[in-house]
Amino acid sequence: MGIEKYLDVAPEVLEAVKNNKPVVALESTIISHGMPYPKNVETALEVEKIIRDNGAVPATIAIINGRLKAGLSKDEIEYLGKSGHNVTKVSRRDLPIIVAKKMDGATTVATTMIIAAMAGIKIFATGGIGGVHRGAQKTFDISADLDELSMTPVTVVCAGAKAILDLPLTLEYLETKGVPVIGFKTKELPAFYTRKSGLGVDYEIDTEKELAEAIYVKSELGMKGGMLVTNPIPEEYSMDEKVINKAIDEAIAEAEAKGIKGKETTPFLLAKVKDITGGDSLESNIRLVYNNAAVAARTAVELSKLG
Q: Tens of pLDDT along 281-300?
A: 888 999 999 999 999 999 99
| Residue 135 DSSP label | T
Residue 209 annotated as catalytic? no
Residue 19: CB atoms within 10 Å: 8
Q: What is the CATH number of the domain that holds 238?
A: 3.40.1790.10
Range of the structural domain that residue 211 is part of:
3-304
- What's the burial of 288, exposed, middle or buried (CB within 10 Å: 0-12/13-18/19+)? buried
Given the DSSP bridges, would you call strands 88-90 and 23-26 parallel, antiparallel or unpaired? unpaired
The angle formed by the CA atoms of residues 162, 230 and 307, to the nearest 5 degrees, is 135
- The total of structural domains in the chain comes to 1
pLDDT digits (tens, 9 = 90+) for 121-162: 999 999 999 999 888 888 888 999 999 999 999 999 999 987
Of 27, 48, 78, 302, which one is the catalytic site residue? 27
Of 69, 89, 122, 162, which one is the catalytic site residue? 162
Residue 27 annotated as catalytic? yes
At 1 the pLDDT is 53
Distance linking the first and last C-alpha atoms of the chain: 28
Q: Report whether the peptide linkage leading into residue 36 is cis, meaning its omega lies within 30 degrees of zero.
A: no
Mean pLDDT of the chain: 94
Task: Kindly report the pTM of this predicted structure.
Answer: 0.94
At 244 the pLDDT is 83
Residues in the chain where the model's pLDDT stays below 70? 1
